[in-house]
Structure 1
């Protein structure tokens, strides 16, 4: 693995499962590493400790990123420890998997707060300190659904569109102000984390293995890439949408690629990384 994380403090949200858990495990061989693991399932974080090397400094805490006061309290605790993350990896996320009219108001609020606002709050609480230091890296886990609408994913897609727009704008701001802060947006299709159990992957867009995606993330982050898109077909979606009339794109996405049927058999868990 890359030596990019040597000597760094890495904050990971959604660290108890899925991408967040494997990311922590796969960089845990880095030298002088501090892992800051946040998840709203603190008991699972404790159980996962056994999979991490004994010489890694670990600061774990139960944090619900949809609760602003909880995020603020967790950030204050890090301040008391005089720890400012070098890398923030926002992995916390949920998906409901219903038609929009079947969502409860709570479903909609929780999805937007966990997937979008929570990530913003986490970064906002550390960004000025990172700017003062002159270094830092923000990594936001978005989704290919941030490029394309999909039945049973309306609120999830909205949250990921928000993540992509915010991440891109933040990257440009940090560049314009010459802060030294890097921003990487991760844009994958469906990943085998359990979060999307039951989905039928579209044509030419295979389900991604968790380790495969994390390896791509580690490599891309180390190279300071602006975007990490996977699989290969994902990067062409914006271009195809721009070139085709809306009706033609719907026909290709729905009837040829099967995108609009991909969630019909969805059975995944409600929360995950």
Structure 2
């Protein structure tokens, strides 16, 4: 079991949405949190909310697309807050555009935030975990990291990379004989505003997930040392469906409305 009580938990993308709720719930379960986001206002508000509950929280304003800034923040956190016990790489961005509509800069930023930032944070905090003989690394990926769809080419590719990152890291840690654990989280769309406007054809099979439910499941998975969390259960059929020829695989996703889910995408207005 990974204990949240008394643990130092670092959460990226913590100023809003899922990250904010995870910060609040983690402190409710007894953790002290270091929170990273580029949005200073939201970060300050969540830290104030946690302190108002007598929790221990400190925010660090960082642009996760900036490698040097991420590395500097990680060094500052280690110096002033100590070693990180549980690292939750939650930050993510989505353009919601077709490949040809996306700018070069948007595509690069998607990979910098959704993928490369994971490398920089893990490289910063993993040595302490290995030295201590304990720790937990959480990668919040997506169901889009298991099956691609239109208008998510850059996002889906980045989440496939995140899933591969977790899997390879897990195998590497096992090869080292390390007790450091990893968890990858692959949820369907979550009602946080990030994917405002998305639709699902069969809500009883593929519901738009409620944020509070997802947060509880993630933290339960961490405490239970689960290596993988996929939500809802129907998404777990994707690896089985992949044995079909591509034209049948595509037909199945189209039947369930997956390939049209982004047609009315609006996204979060900041």
Shorter-chain TM-score tier:
over 0.9
Q: Deviations over 1:77-118 (max 9, x none)?
A: 123226111000011000000110110000100001100111
Q: How does 1:56-75 map to 2 (within 5 A)?
A: 56-75=55-74
Contact 1:89–1:138, Cα closer than 8 Å, also in 2: yes
1:148-193 Cα offsets, whole Å, 9 max, x none, are: 1100000000000000001001011111211211000000000001
1:28 is paired with a residue whose SS is helix
* 1:125-136 equivalence runs, <5 A: 125-136=124-135
Size of the alignment, in residue pairs?
267
Q: Aligned partners of 1:82 and 1:231: how far apart in 2? A: 36
Q: Distance in 2 between matches of 1:165 and 1:232?
A: 20
Q: Which residue is equivalent to 1:262?
A: 261
Residue of structure 2 equivalent to 1:94: 93
List 4+ stretches of structure 1 deviating above 3 A: none
Aligned to 1:246: 246
Q: Following the alignment from structure 1 to structure 2, what is the Cα–Cα distance between the partners of residues 26 and 139?
A: 16
Contact 1:96/1:270 (CA < 8 Å) preserved in 2?
Answer: no
Gaps of 5+ in 1: none
TM value normalised by structure 1: 0.94
1:110-143 residue CA offsets vs partner (Å, 9 max, x unmatched): 0011001111111111111211111110000000
Give distance in 1, aligned partners of 2:25 and 2:234: 26
CA shift in 2, pair 1:127/1:176, >3 Å? same
Task: Summarize deviations over 1:211-254 as a string: whole Å, max 9, x none.
Answer: 01011111111110010110010111111112x11111111211
2-side partners of 1:202 and 1:183: how far apart?
A: 33
2:199 and 2:262 in contact (8 A); partners too? yes
Shift of 1:30: 2.9
CA distance in 2, matches of 1:53, 1:73: 25
Tell me which residue corresponds to 2:183: 184
| SS of equivalent residue, structure 1 residue 187 | strand
CA change 1:191–1:63 in 2 (3 A) is same
Q: Report if aligned partners of 2:51, 2:57 keep a CA contact under 8 Å in 1.
A: no
- The root-mean-square deviation of aligned C-alpha atoms, in Å, is 1.5
Partner of 1:111: 110
Aligned to 1:211: 212
Partner of 1:232: 233
Cα distance, 1:149–1:26 mapped onto 2, change above 3 Å: same
Q: Distance in 2 between matches of 1:72 and 1:252?
A: 43
1:11 is displaced (CA, Å) by 0.1
Q: Is the contact between residue 91 and residue 114 of structure 2 (CA under 8 Å) also seen in structure 1? A: yes
Counterpart of 1:52 in 2: which secondary structure?
helix
1:164 is aligned to: 163
Deviation at 1:53, TM superposition (A): 4.3
| Displacement of 1:202 | 4.0
